[in-house]
A and B are shown apart, each in its own frame.
Chain A
Amino acid sequence: MTDLTKLTIAQLRDGFQAKDFTSVEATQAYVDAIEAHNAAFNAYVKTTPELALEQAAKSDEKIAASNGGKLEGVPIGVKDLYSTEGVHTQACSHILDGFQPRYESTVTKNMFDDGMVMLGKLNMDEFAMGSSNETSYYGAVTNPWKREGERTSNGPALVPGGSSGGSAAAVAAHLCAGATASDTGGSIRQPAAFTGTVGIKPTYGRCSRFGMVAFASSLDQAGPISRDVRDAAIMLKSMASSDPRDTTCADLPVPDYEAAIGKSVKGMKIGIPSEYRLDGMPAEIEKLWEQGKTMLQDAGAEIVDISLPHTKYALPAYYIVAPAEASSNLARYDGVKYGLRVDGKNIEEMYENTRAAGFGEEVKRRILIGTYVLSAGFYDAYYTRAQKVRTLIKQDFEQCFDAGVDCILTPATPSAAFAIGDKEMAADPVKMYLNDVFTVTVNMAGLPGISVPAGLSDEGLPLGLQLIGRPFEEETLFQAGSVIEQAAGHFTPEKWW
């Protein structure tokens, strides 16, 4: 019998339809795989096998009655950032110890309504703050990929990227058929690039933020990480919706993204922004980018050079806006209402003790930065200027799109996955922040961006290319993304676990 965990969502769907196997069988295969291998990756922080099998049995009934939904019976992992009713939801922070919401996030509700089987909650950087999944209270996640020649359980462990490191690792290691993730500055696309998976951050407002633990409200956006472009399209179709409970959520119909896959890119104009060619960028990244151009050109697309002049200001401005919003969003974790409380002599001391114990170093750093930039006397110099930069970045993109560019091709990350506990990154947080240099611009402008695996590094690690599209034109990204996927092929880690 085939290993059901090897199948894509589309293949599972077709197999369920054809009665080749059942959702219970597929779910059981994943439950077994998680039990056997999660320890090697630390991808799940909470597994819900009984719940999963119960849901799978229901899905099988629906499939038998031919009234299954878009994700009927498909075993999925959910990032710990999504509120799931009655199930562990802590955004991998100590401060939310024991928190189980009495409500369901809109995204997971949409997916449950479509028949999702939830396998459990996935590891992530604490409050989605990080690019390596090392800031999680539940410990680092190990990337299923290791460098060539090091692919043994003793070989140096690499990070899966972050903040959706658990999601990316679980998908790449076949511990779920697909995973929900979220992206504030690159938290879907960078881990996808590091693990040879596909990740799309849709347009800001495409998915509801209701029930997602907030990091930076004006930048946070839900999206999937999956094995291939088609699966990403299937998942996003289910995740996206309008929502009266999130006023920043767009009231637009959700198109059939899957229909975009396989459509020709003939005549499509692909922009290549010169500002993304960084000093000291590894040659292999440069090479990958060139290959990407060729792949799209060979499929009939037109490659045009473009300029996004304010790109260099994006990362510094991001590290003002995101921490500012975070410092306010995380004020609610005060020990008064839920989660961790560390008592003190008085209320101030209780706040201090709770927040000192409950938040990790990176979260504290960003709260401090955010508090500082919003302080009286600094607000205009930092926050107001960062917002102006944001407007300029947005205008850069608008001008290119107005000039007829359909989407923009860039590298997804400036490097391949690095080692867990990398000393340079640990010593200098800015080095870690530079991981998001190609992805933050997209969040700052609210645009959709997809990361598609396009090749391997010299050390045998996956590398991704990013496509950036017009607002609410995710279909273009699926269309062009699948062309890259067709040309580059699929990337599966060599099993060492």
Chain B
Amino acid sequence: MTGLIDTRTPNPKNFFSGEDHDWELVIGLEVHAQVTSNAKLFSGASTEFGSEQNANVSLVDAAMPGMLPVINEECVRQAVKTGLGLNAKINNRSVFDRKNYFYPDLPQGYQISQLYHPIVGEGVITIQVGPDKQGQFESVEIGVERLHLEQDAGKSMHDQHPTMSFVDLNRSGVALMEIVSKPDIRSIDEAKAYVTKLRSILRYLGTCDGNMDQGSMRADVNVSVREPGGEFGTRCEIKNVNSIRFMGQAIEYEARRQIDILEEGGTVDQETRLFDPVKGETRSMRSKEEAHDYRYFPDPDLLPLEFDDAYVDGIRAELPELPDAKRNRFIGEGLSEYDASILVSDKSIADFYEKVADGRDAKVSANWVINDLLGALNKAGKSLEESPVSADQLGSIIDLIKDGTINGKIAKDVFEIVLEKGGDPAEIVEKEGMAQVTDTGAIEAAVDEIIAANPEKVQQAIEKPNMIGWFVGQVMKATGGKANPQAVNELLRKKING
């Protein structure tokens, strides 16, 4: 690896306070993202999640004598696509290397990876950190060092038998993309924003499902501390962090630990550490001295991976609109930066919103999606995929407001009903008699009654036109909220002011 370059200007808002001076965090992330593909990287075995143990194992995955790896072209496509999505240099020639070590869930005794010549080179991810109290986001560019393809290992299970360990090879040989950032990250929020953004890009591209709870995405976190703007410190690598929340906790703990060591006059040892989510702390896994010698060398069973520019261009032409572009488009269509950022953060939310906003007002649609739907789902602890309200249902509620069938207040009630019980909003309005009273005769009767009953208020309203609001409220109450507020207003003005 080339020497580390500091691309950032120290920002006091990111500093950790110390005894004598502040400390600045330097973070680099190695994200392992499982490639979305039907088959493994070098075998035809299935990659389906949740299959019976050792159901998805080919002779190649089990490292039977004489078995040879054959590259799965779909995984190559996905890696190139991801590289393009990260604005990265695509290497038309890359080479697979063997990383040698012994472990029962590594049947070959080596992992096929790409050390010397990765398929994707340098790129950049623009992250949005925030929002702050003003609802503003800070855009920060984080460098990507490289992306390479490699095999996943199987799974060792140590809790199945009193004296033996069991091995499940279903994951053995599944394609991973290791995406290595430059040490450009300076805070926990940035680290979280980076993983969130990367996951979002991968999901947009359809190259990784990003499901951290299923192990489809996990991160090795490199953390060091230094005096702000000073020389890079000694880093520790926290292995296999499998949630964004844990990552934040792990960095926090690790930064504090290193600061404590340094402030007591000690030195940080370069080592690999594990995060214990139960105790909320990291602990040493192996020191630099205990580090494996992986004896990397080019895998002689595989030819260098080569493709031409036309191949890359073909993939480029199929790229979907990515979060940054979508965000800018939404802003151009009238949304605030805040709304646009929330909507694009997850492709499924953006897709949902676009379906709602199709032929409808952008701002109104965004408000309903963000404030009402996402708010309600959040409260219920549900994901958008589990939403009881579909984009069509939400859209038709908005339509009912637009065409004057219901007013905004009743719309919230309709939404609650759809959320609880489902159903077609138009039918609900009809069945429950929630439609606005637009019949002026009925409204007029209510208006007359209230005017007649409150002569002194009428007098006040003539003197102070704002008082009309009190009458509107009374009429709405009398009509069960169904009166068309515009019609009520007009009638009241006419009657009170003559």
Q: Which residues of A contact B (CB under 8 A)?
A: 82-83, 89, 91, 96, 99, 101-103, 105, 209-214, 216-218, 244-248, 324-325, 327-328, 330-332, 334, 336-338, 347, 351, 371, 374-376, 379, 383
Contact = CB atoms under 8 A, between A and B. Distances in A.
Contacts of A248: 300-303
Nearest to B60: A245
A331 B106 CA distance: 10
A101 B67 CA distance: 11
B62 A337 contact: yes
Interface stretch (B30-38, B96-104, B219-227): B96-104
A347 B303 contact: no
A325 B104 contact: no
A96 B300 contact: no
Contact of B297 (A213, A247, A374): A374
Contact of A332 (B68, B109, B167): B109
Interface of B: 59, 62-71, 98, 100, 102, 104, 107-110, 165, 167, 293, 295-297, 300-303
B109 A91 contact: no
A78 to B, nearest CB: 13
Given A103-B59, A336-B107, A328 B68 contact: no
A330 B66 CA distance: 11
Given A248-B301, A328-B109, A376-B293, A83 B102 contact: no
Q: Which 10 A-B pairs have the closest CB atoms?
A: A331-B109, A374-B295, A217-B300, A218-B300, A332-B63, A211-B66, A213-B65, A336-B104, A83-B66, A376-B293
Given A96-B65, A332-B63, A216 B300 contact: yes
B66 A328 contact: no
B95 to A, nearest CB: 12
Contact of A375 (B104, B165, B293): B293
B108 A332 contact: yes
- Identify which of A89, A324, A331, A337 gathers the most chain B CB atoms within 10 Å of its CB: A331
Nearest to B105: A336
A351 B101 CA distance: 12
Nearest to B108: A332
Nearest to A348: B102
Contact of A337 (B71, B100, B107): B107
A325 B102 contact: no
Contacts of A374: 100, 295-297
Contact of A212 (B62, B66, B297): B66
25 contacts: A83-B65, A96-B65, A99-B65, A101-B65, A209-B66, A210-B68, A212-B66, A214-B65, A245-B68, A246-B70, A247-B68, A247-B303, A248-B300, A324-B297, A327-B100, A331-B100, A332-B63, A334-B109, A336-B104, A347-B104, A347-B165, A371-B295, A374-B296, A376-B295, A379-B296
A213 B66 contact: yes
A337 B63 contact: yes
A325 B302 CA distance: 13
Given A96-B65, A99-B65, A247-B303, A379 B100 contact: no
Nearest to A375: B293
A128 to B, nearest CB: 12
B93 to A, nearest CB: 15
Contacts of B300: 216-218, 248, 325
A334 B206 CA distance: 38
A213 B65 CA distance: 5
Contacts of B71: 247
Nearest to B103: A347
B305 to A, nearest CB: 10
A189 to B, nearest CB: 21
A244 B297 contact: no
Contacts of B165: 347
Contacts of B59: 102-103
A332 B66 contact: no
B297 A383 contact: yes
A247 B302 contact: yes
Contacts of A89: 65
B66 A210 contact: yes
A89 B59 CA distance: 15
